Structure 1
Amino acid sequence: MARDPETIEREIEQARNALAATLDQLGTKADPRKLADQASQGIKAKLNEPKIKFPLIGAGALIGFLLLRKLFR
Structure 2
Amino acid sequence: MAERDPDTIKQEIDRARDQLASTVDSLAERANPRRLADDAKARVIGFVKKPAVVISLAGIAAIAATLAVRRIRNR
TM interval, short-chain normalised:
0.7 to 0.9
Shift of 1:36: 1.1
Q: In 2, Cα distance between the equivalents of 1:55 and 1:18?
A: 49
Calculate the TM-score normalised by the size of structure 2: 0.83
Count of aligned positions: 73
1:8-47 pair list within 5 angstroms: 8-47=9-48
Q: In 2, Cα distance between the equivalents of 1:30 and 1:21?
A: 14
What code does the residue aligned with 2:47 have? K
> Secondary structure at 2:4's aligned position in 1?
coil
| Greater mean alpha carbon deviation, residues 13-22 or residues 59-68 | 59-68
Shift of 1:72: 3.0
Q: In 2, Cα distance between the equivalents of 1:33 and 1:61?
A: 35
Q: In 2, Cα distance between the equivalents of 1:51 and 1:72?
A: 32
Q: Structure 1 unaligned segments of length 5 or more: list them.
A: none
Q: In 2, Cα distance between the equivalents of 1:17 and 1:45?
A: 38
Calculate the TM-score normalised by the size of structure 1: 0.84
Name the counterpart of 1:3.
4
Q: Structure 2 unaligned segments of length 5 or more: list them.
A: none
Shift of 1:37: 0.9
RMSD: 1.4
What code does the residue aligned with 1:72 have? R
